């Protein structure tokens, strides 16, 4: 099932910031959003995730299928890494948190309180939280912020492998760094959209590409804001 956005107008603080946004996201595709600061990328992601209503337009194929990760990692500092993931697993009716712990190299931190983790470790735990939702659409706002290069590689490898237990069918993400697996290959394809920004008078754009097999990540470009589907 496609995720379809049609003629969307979104607002921040009651002021329209993007208008005329439209795209289709089929399975096994990603959409990366790019644009200048203040152009409305985060507002668009929050709207697609259902956290705020659009002023105009329609979003089809989303609903409760979406898992969202914004700038906050959504963690309880007094709970351990395992307890945080177990809490979200119960919320979403899943059981096995082991793939999430392993996928982001959190097993050795399993008993540590989340509040004692470094910024990068908290970000990894926040991303691991997405895995236990088992929701087919991921909406990610700057997912690799606070991650070092090794952790960015873990993120990219987790997305590339997408085990069936928590396979993301689509994801929206916003990022400004390349996301590459340990093999040096970038994930995944991107699709283009264009929308005017009323607040800045500038245009936000996303570029579309599907890297050829083995293409180094530097050739594919940097991840900005978008969606992923398997």
Range of the domain at 143: 3-73+135-228
Evaluated on CA atoms 102, 107, 108, 114, the torsion sign reads positive
Task: Read off the DSSP letter of residue 34.
Answer: B
186 lies in a domain?
A: yes
190 lies in a domain?
A: yes
> Do residues 132 and 100 touch, judged by C-beta distance below 8 A?
yes
Residues 6+ apart with CB under 8 A from 143: 69, 127, 155, 173, 174, 175, 179
129 lies in a domain?
A: no
φ, ψ dihedrals at 162, nearest 5°: 40, 65
Look up the CATH number of the domain holding residue 139: 3.40.50
Secondary structure of residue 207 in the 3-state scheme: coil
If you average pLDDT over residues 140-150, what whole number do you get? 88
**What is the predicted pLDDT for the residue at 94?**
86
**What is the predicted pLDDT for the residue at 159?**
75
Q: What would the pLDDT profile of 53-92 be if each residue is shown by its tens digit?
A: 999 999 988 777 788 888 888 899 999 999 999 999 998 8
Q: What would the pLDDT profile of 161-220 be if each residue is shown by its tens digit?
A: 653 333 333 444 544 444 444 444 343 433 344 444 444 444 444 333 333 333 333 322
The band of 28, judged by pLDDT with boundaries at 50, 70 and 90, is low
104 lies in a domain?
A: no
117 lies in a domain?
A: no
pTM: 0.71
114 lies in a domain?
A: no
């Amino acid at each position: 099932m496609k995720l379809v956005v049609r003629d969307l107008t979104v607002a921040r603080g009651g002021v329209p910031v993007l208008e005329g946004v439209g795209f289709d996201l089929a399975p096994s595709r990603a959409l990366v959003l790019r644009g200048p600061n203040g152009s409305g990328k985060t507002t668009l992601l929050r709207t697609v995730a259902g956290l705020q209503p659009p002023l105009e337009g329609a979003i089809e194929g989303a609903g409760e299928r979406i898992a969202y990760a914004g700038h906050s990692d959504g963690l309880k500092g007094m709970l351990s890494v395992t307890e945080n993931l177990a809490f979200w697993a119960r919320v979403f009716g899943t059981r096995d948190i082991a793939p999430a712990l392993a996928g982001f190299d959190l097993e050795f931190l399993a008993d540590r309180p989340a509040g004692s983790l470094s910024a990068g470790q908290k970000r990894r735990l926040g991303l691991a939280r997405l895995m236990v939702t088992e929701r087919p659409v991921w909406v990610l706002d700057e997912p690799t912020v606070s991650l070092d290069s090794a952790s960015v590689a873990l993120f990219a490898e987790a997305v590339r492998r997408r085990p069936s237990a928590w396979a993301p069918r689509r994801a929206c993400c916003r990022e400004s760094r390349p996301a590459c697996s340990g093999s040096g290959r970038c994930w995944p394809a991107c699709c283009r959209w264009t929308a005017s920004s009323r607040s800045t008078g500038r245009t936000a754009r996303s570029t579309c590409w599907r890297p050829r097999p083995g293409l180094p990540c530097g050739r594919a470009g940097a991840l900005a804001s978008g969606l992923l589907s398997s």
